[in-house]
Amino acid sequence: MEAIDPLFRINLTRWPSKGQPCGAGERAITVDGDGTMRRCHFIAEPIGNLYAAEWRSALVPRACTNVDCHCHIGYVHLDYLELGKVFASGLLERIPVPEARMGGVRLPVVS
Ligand code: SF4
């Protein structure tokens, strides 16, 4: 897999997240059909409802309450990984900037 996707190993890692600032719930949310908003699909506690007039007030910085995060659409929001530099506008689609494929962008260290 790494022969065709040099960043594949990043997605095999369970990234430590407990207490770490994460943009899930501020820069991205998950929403149920009834409007229930959650910061991500790993943390069940609702943060608001998309149909409420004040829904935007729920979008605030938070620290993660889970031990780790192992799904791309979750851990890409962990601030310390700085994956915005790797994926830029392709963050959710998991499409890296060309420099990341060529080793020109610092990648998180995979243990
Ligand atoms: S690190 Fe993962 S589990 Fe924790 S808040 Fe962010 S997306 Fe959710």
pLDDT in tens, 45-95: 999 999 999 999 999 999 999 999 999 999 999 999 999 999 999 999 999
> What is the number of the ligand 1 atom nearest to the C-alpha of 15?
1
- Answer whether 42 contacts ligand 1 (Cβ < 6 A): yes
> Residue 10 and residue 90: Cα distance in Å, rounded?
16
Whether the model clears a pTM of 0.85, i.e. scores above it, the answer is yes
Residues 10-22: tens digit of each pLDDT: 999 999 999 999 9
- Is any atom of ligand 1 closer than 6 Å to the C-beta of 66? yes
CA distance 30 to 40: 5
Higher pLDDT, 99 or 66: 66
CA distances from 2 to 11, 12, 31, 49, 98 (A): 11, 11, 33, 40, 16
CA 27 to ligand 1 center in whole angstroms: 12
> CA dist 19 to 41, 48, 66, Å?
17, 21, 8
Which residue, by CA, sits nearest to atom 4 of ligand 1?
64
- For residue 2, what pLDDT is reported? 86
